[in-house]
Amino acid sequence: MTAWSRAARARGERIAFVPTMGALHAGHVALLAEGRRRGDRLALSIFVNPTQFGPQEDLARYPRDLPGDLAKAAGAGTDVAFVPEVADMYPAGFQTTIEVKELSRGLDGVSRPGHFAGVATVVAKLFNVVQPDLAIFGEKDFQQLAVVRRLVADLAMGIEIVGLPTVREPDGLAMSSRNAYLSAGERARALSLSRALFAARDRAAAGERDGKTLVDGARALLDVDRLDYLELVDAATLAPVADVAGPAALLVAAVIGRTRLIDNVRIGA
């Protein structure tokens, strides 16, 4: 992989990179299309990273479809797919972890301890191997995107990080590989996440600025089995905010059946 990248760079080509855990859907394809537009060469990684899963999470059953993924990637104009094994990424004796401290503390950092250390470490390693000029992520993983931006800035990696808006199904459900877990009834209930977020966004657009009012109104619309969080935060720092005084985001994580889903909307200027 690194030899391929070095050869491309030697030819003066700009490398765009989309890191994924596979189970590609239209949201991933949109990221690849943006990479194809922005770069001379397009690289994709497919790696289900064990270090970002907790002991009770869905590592073993996470959806995997390598032939289907490679077909989608080829259809989107991908030049190379990097598909390492766990032993390639974490060889015997591996002991280094990267932590983006403040941005990893709240939200999923509370619900999934250690998750973002796993994300930051694997992303840094992928960047070192692939050596891209730019990397593209979806805003559905809002906190992850903030962590990656901080990682790249703090370690002076010199990689442009591009965030793309969440890609949704026609009925509003945020596209996710984990949607495949949902039964028909659970999928119908999952729509309550986007409906709650959209309602809060519309209410803010109509002039409501009180954070508690926005959050309580959204919470009343949720139909979930467990709510991990529903928080209004500063869009840049992810610090909780009491009211909408500038760019903010409303983030939700909830479990429906056995499936944990996340979603978010931007609120304010």
On the question of pLDDT at 269 being above 70, the answer is no
CATH assignment of 2-164, among 3.30.70.980, 3.40.640.10, 3.30.160.100, 3.40.50.620: 3.40.50.620
Kindly report the three-state secondary structure assignment for every residue of 160-171.
Answer: EEEEECCCECCC
Paired strand residues for 16: 42, 134
CATH 3.30.1300.10 domain locations along the chain: 177-262
Closest CA to 167 of 33, 8, 56, 67: 33
pLDDT, one tens digit per residue, over 179-234 is 999 999 999 999 999 999 999 999 999 999 999 999 999 999 999 999 999 999 99
d(CA 10, CA 13): 7
CATH 3.40.50.620 domain locations along the chain: 2-164
Which is the catalytic residue, given 5, 16, 17, 28?
A: 28
On the question of pLDDT at 149 being above 90, the answer is yes
Number of Cβ atoms within 10 Å of the Cβ of 96: 8
Mean pLDDT (whole number) for 149-174: 98
pLDDT, one tens digit per residue, over 209-222 is 999 999 999 999 99
Question: Which architecture does CATH list for 177-262?
Answer: 2-Layer Sandwich (3.30)
User: What pLDDT sits at residue 268?
Assistant: 86
User: What pLDDT sits at residue 51?
Assistant: 96
On the question of pLDDT at 58 being above 90, the answer is yes
- Does 115 participate in catalysis according to the annotation? no
pLDDT, one tens digit per residue, over 227-261 is 999 999 999 999 999 999 999 999 999 999 999 99
- pLDDT level of residue 56 (50, 70, 90 thresholds): confident
The enclosing H or E element of 158 equals none
Averaged pLDDT score across all residues of the chain: 97
